[in-house]
Every structure is written in structure tokens, then in C-alpha cells.
Chain A
Amino acid sequence: NAGVMQNPRHLVRRRGQEARLRCSPMKGHSHVYWYRQLPEEGLKFMVYLQKENIIDESGMPKERFSAEFPKEGPSILRIQQVVRGDSAAYFCASSPGTPWESGANVLTFGAGSRLTVL
């Protein structure tokens, strides 16, 4: 039973390029969260998605960042025109759904995608 799968595990981009990070939630989970971990810091919430819907993106930078969770396929976090400050580990987490709205569910995290911007 595969957990939350993220790829790539490591990604190197030059300034101005685009980065695409993928996340396949656990089987049976329909809710996906993206978090960012800057060096020496804790994780910060970015966006919460359900299939084909962005529920809350209050933690996403207003420009260059976007996320989607299509009906078929993985969730994708896209960063356009990357800058050095985007270098971080990006974690995806999933939950089975509604009970998380009350905080009851445990989020299962992937191993993270580490983006390095040169």
C-alpha cells in the first residue's frame, strides 16, 4: 500500500525556469495539502485541494505559484520563473476527507521534493 508519492525527490532549476512538482495521494484519499519548508524552518501551509477544486490557497504566494488536482492524475504544484528564494523542500500531504475538517484525521506526508534554484 503505497503512501503519498512525490516526484521528483530532487529538482535543480536555474533562475527564470519553471518547476513542476507532483504528488499522488494515498489510495482512497481525496484531499491534498502542499507545505513548504525553508531551510532551518518548520513547514508552512500553502494550499489545500480536493479533486478539481482549490479549497484554500491562503498560504500561496500571489504570483508565480499555482496548484491543481485534476480529476485524473496527480496534484501538481507549479512555480514559474523560479528565484533563489524558492529553494526549499515542498511537502505534499493527503487525508481521506471530511473528518479532517474537524481536525480529527492525521495527515500522511510524502517524502518531499527538494528544489534548488541556481
Chain B
Amino acid sequence: AQKVTQAQTEISVVEKEDVTLDCVYETRDTTYYLFWYKQPPSGELVFLIRRNSFDEQNEISGRYSWNFQKSTSSFNFTITASQVVDSAVYFCALSALLSSGSARQLTFGSGTQLTVLP
């Protein structure tokens, strides 16, 4: 069975602080994909990053960085110098094979509500 755990329900930081959002996953697949999505207060889901299980290189995109560690089944997300506009719910997700075996669908964690205070 596939599972994604985001143990941090809510995090509050003051602007310009760094913050790390944790994500731990479980899967029996040898090939899988991990994602992060952002859901701002307006409600839509915004794609942030996709990482496949064979690529353990960390990635940096501006103030965002991701640490993928297969040994601990974790895919953590760090925001450096946080800003008020970063306030949102952040979801980690794992692509999982559907029971039909026909395709994959995303299994989401329960999300982390990040509040950045001015």
C-alpha cells in the first residue's frame, strides 16, 4: 500500500525565517514519483516539483529546495527567507499504481498549513 505522511499539521514562522516541511512516504514500487503542490488561500493546486525515485539529487529553485533521501523515504521541502506570500497549504504526493493496474494516481499527504507572519 502507498502512504504519504506529513506529520506537521501547522507551522508558523516570521518572515525571512527558513522553514522545512517534512514528507515521509511508503511504497512497494521500485519506480515511483514524488511531488509537491501548493494550495494558496484561493484554493487552486499549484505544481511545485516532481522527482523520480532514481534521481536523488537535491534540487534548488530560487528560495525553494528539496531534499530527497531514499534511505529514509523522505522528500522534505525547504523555503529559505520565507515571505508572507508563501502562506499556503503544502501537499506532498506520491504516484501510485491504480488497483486496475492501468495507470497511476496521486496519493496525497494530509498537508501542512504554513503561515508566514510579517
Contact = CB atoms under 8 A, between A and B. Distances in A.
Interface of A: 31, 33, 35, 40-45, 48, 55-56, 58-59, 89, 91, 93, 100-104, 106-112, 114
Interface in B90-118: 91, 95, 98-100, 102-111
A109 B4 CA distance: 19
Given A42-B111, A103-B31, A111 B103 contact: no
Nearest to B95: A103
Given A42-B110, A58-B99, A106-B50, A100 B44 contact: no
B100 A109 contact: no
B91 A55 contact: no
B60 interface: no
B102 A89 contact: no
Contacts of A31: 103
B64 interface: no
Contacts, number: 77
Contact of B98 (A35, A48, A89): A48
28 contacts: A41-B111, A42-B6, A42-B91, A42-B108, A42-B109, A43-B91, A43-B108, A45-B105, A45-B106, A48-B98, A48-B103, A55-B100, A55-B102, A58-B100, A101-B102, A102-B104, A103-B31, A103-B32, A104-B52, A106-B35, A106-B50, A107-B106, A108-B47, A109-B44, A109-B45, A109-B47, A110-B44, A112-B43
Contacts of A114: 43
Contacts of B43: 89, 111-112, 114
A103 B44 contact: no
Given A56-B98, A101-B102, A45 B44 contact: no
A31 B102 CA distance: 12
A89 B43 CA distance: 9
A43 B108 CA distance: 6
B105 A48 contact: yes
Given A42-B91, A43-B91, A43-B108, A101 B47 contact: no
A61 to B, nearest CB: 15
